[in-house]
Structure 1
Amino acid sequence: MTSNKYLGVDIGGTKIQVGIVQEGELIQEVRFETSATASKEQILAELAHNLAPLVTADVVGIGIGVPGLVDEEEGIVHNVQNIPSWREVHLKQHLAIYFDKPVYLTNDANAFAIGEKMYGQGRPYANLVGLALGTGLGAGIVINHQVYSGTLSSAGEFGMIPYLDKTIEDYCSGKFFSQRTGRVGAEWHALAQQGDAEALALYDELGRHLGRALHIILYAIAPEAIFLGGSVSQGYEFFRDGLYETLGAFPFRQVTDRLVVAPSLLGNAAVLGAAALCHMKQATPHAQPALAL
């Protein structure tokens, strides 16, 4: 008898990543664009249409990470980042009826943290933060081997904290490149790989801003490890020195000496985490399960 299959879905502001997960392995994966400026109904219809080929009879549940406020019990998402029409969407109900499958939701950064904890470098740590640096900035928090979501999955919104003239997200995500230069981060990453001085200087500045963001996380949570995901983390080698130089100014040296900061080695941590959420919810429906294999 083969083990169950779960569908993990990571909804982003510009793309949606989907995978079929079996025994912790991603056995099939697809990506498709998000019609971010379309109506709520059109986006829901496109989502269901694109998921349909993957929701086969042997898929026993669907787990979804969403970049917004999430009522996990009712399955309602609010104020989805970079999708203006998704102010209030009964996503769980819509997909559960459409596919006749159980559906479970959480914030996308929580899904990333779950994936890193369950299948990545986070396995040894009881307390960690998964920091997703992409179109925006989100954080998933694991405390004593359990996800801490807070009200409406809104815990860990460090990106919304005021910083300089804007917010932390404006200086520590893809917005840093687009707002500063009018060019997307992928272009600057390509230039940095070629040794372009301006690109390297931008990445160094981003690293210093990110280091200040880590100060806040350390003051608030003091995790053992912080793992970086999202498209911006692909430039880690270019902003690492600036990050660590700023991190070195943190006043509690005993804390930073023990801290692990590293880019995720899982290119699909959020998809794996969404599928794992589904698995755990079905296994322990009335309890908050510990994230351990």
Structure 2
Amino acid sequence: MCTRVSNYAARPARRVLAGDIGGTNLRLAVVERGAIEKSVRVPMKEFSSPQALAERSALEISRFGINDVAVGGIGFPCPIDEKSGEPLFSPPNLSFGFEGFIDALSRAAGMRIFGFNDARSAVMGEAMFGAGRERDVVIWHGIGTGYGFAIVDGEQEIFPRANEGGHFKVVNPILDRSAKECGCGARGCAEAYVSGTAMSEHYFQLTGNRLTGEEVGAAFLSKNEVAVKVVHQAMAYLAMNISTGHALTLNGLHVLGGGVAQIGQPLLDTLRIMLRSPGVVSWPRQNDLASKVVLSELGDDAGLLGAAVLAETRDFSFYNPVL
């Protein structure tokens, strides 16, 4: 057991509200010590404003009947202001932003709620309770509607304020004017090539048929030739971003999660082939990076469990009665 996990285990157990807002679903749950007691899932297409999202979230929280819960953490698909816990920008994969959401939900739910980047939440969940619980350095790659990338090193998070590694460049837009435009407004971002949305768009360009990222994954498993081409290209670009994470950490465990990653072992096998291609990995003789990439053990629960941990550790008053 690494220090991060043992230190957390030494803290008093506490029930916490956890949430995960994605491009497809809103998830809310009651969590205690890595176990989900109650949960609910609501499609994001039901909401057209942050006010509607806050009202529905408060309603679902009230249905949990959790009068003893005083703190919560919610993962958002965008950068977060570390001091206020408020989302900084509107996410590229939703039609509205989150202005005033944290404050409105905290008041309606009657508890203190903190916001975190969703990749940050997911990497913490996987590092505490999933595939990374025995490893000091854990790198998360979440492929869903978007693409999230975050790193935990021991008990320290690398660039914790934003965790927008999904917007590292995999194509140089200065040298290559054909670099794809990302929802963030830039070009050449990993998300524009790796995400489920990117796979959906690529498949549409090749066939004229619109499938979701998950549906492209299902077609890939059925050995649809176009879907195979689409997934292979996405994994080639993902290999480049994993190589970047490897250069930052050298000895980290890379965990592949998100809705598209539910394709499972065939997706991982394809990615490992890309990672073993010549020229992708630095110091290849000393590092078999492909063997350091694994599938998430927690699935889409990683973000919920991580948000709960981050909320507990952010609410320092719980651990120090003087505050």
Q: Could you tell me the TM-score, scaled by structure 2's length?
A: 0.79
Q: Pick one of 269, 272, 275 that aligns with 2:305.
A: 272
**Residue 25 of structure 2 corresponds to residue 15 of structure 1:** yes
Distance 1:183 1:257, change over 3 A: closer
- Give the aligned residue type for 1:15: N
Distance 1:36 1:142, change over 3 A: farther
Q: Residue by residue, what CA displacement relative to the aligned partner does 1:166-207 show, whole Å, maximum 9, x if unpaired?
A: 221121110222111231122222223333333333322222
Partner of 1:179: 201
Q: Residue by residue, what CA displacement relative to the aligned partner does 1:77-109 show, whole Å, maximum 9, x if unpaired?
A: 1223223431x6233322222122121221000
Q: Pick one of 270, 289, 314 that aligns with 1:281.
A: 314
How far, CA to CA, are the matches of 2:122 and 2:200 in structure 1? 24
How far, CA to CA, are the matches of 1:285 and 1:61 in structure 2? 10
Partner of 1:38: 48
Partner of 2:81: 71
Q: Pick one of 271, 278, 294 that aligns with 1:262.
A: 294
Partner of 1:246: 274
Note the aligned Cα RMSD (angstroms).
Answer: 2.6
Alignment of 1:201-240 (within 5 A): 201-240=229-268
CA contact (8 A) 2:119 2:142 kept: yes
Q: Residue by residue, what CA displacement relative to the aligned partner does 1:35-68 show, whole Å, maximum 9, x if unpaired?
A: 4771332333233233331252122321111111
- Give the aligned residue type for 1:159: H
CA contact (8 A) 1:130 1:229 kept: yes
Q: Pick one of 155, 165, 177 that aligns with 1:157.
A: 165
Quote how far apart the aligned CAs of 1:161 are.
Answer: 2.1
CA contact (8 A) 1:120 1:265 kept: yes
Give the aligned length. 283
Distance 1:168 1:241, change over 3 A: same
- Give the aligned residue type for 2:32: Q
Q: Residue by residue, what CA displacement relative to the aligned partner does 1:223-273 show, whole Å, maximum 9, x if unpaired?
A: 511101101111243333332233123131223359621110102010011
How far, CA to CA, are the matches of 1:76 and 1:55 in structure 2? 26
Distance 1:188 1:159, change over 3 A: same
Instruction: State the secondary structure of the residue aligned to 1:271.
Output: helix
**What runs of 5+ residues in structure 2 fail to find an aligned partner?**
1-11, 181-188, 205-209
**Residue 198 of structure 2 corresponds to residue 188 of structure 1:** no
CA contact (8 A) 2:145 2:213 kept: no
- Give the aligned residue type for 1:177: M
Distance 1:113 1:30, change over 3 A: same
Quote how far apart the aligned CAs of 1:139 are.
Answer: 1.3
Instruction: State the secondary structure of the residue aligned to 1:70.
Output: coil
Q: Residue by residue, what CA displacement relative to the aligned partner does 1:130-151 show, whole Å, maximum 9, x if unpaired?
A: 111111111121023222344x
Quote how far apart the aligned CAs of 1:274 are.
Answer: 0.8
Partner of 1:170: 192
Instruction: State the secondary structure of the residue aligned to 2:73.
Output: strand
Quote how far apart the aligned CAs of 1:70 are.
Answer: 0.8
Quote how far apart the aligned CAs of 1:158 are.
Answer: 3.2
- Give the aligned residue type for 1:178: S
- Give the aligned residue type for 1:133: I
CA contact (8 A) 1:63 1:104 kept: yes
Q: Which runs of 4+ in 1 moved over 4 A?
A: 283-287
Partner of 1:124: 134
Partner of 1:89: 99
Partner of 2:72: 62
Q: Decide which structure has greater strand share.
A: 1
Quote how far apart the aligned CAs of 1:22 are.
Answer: 1.8
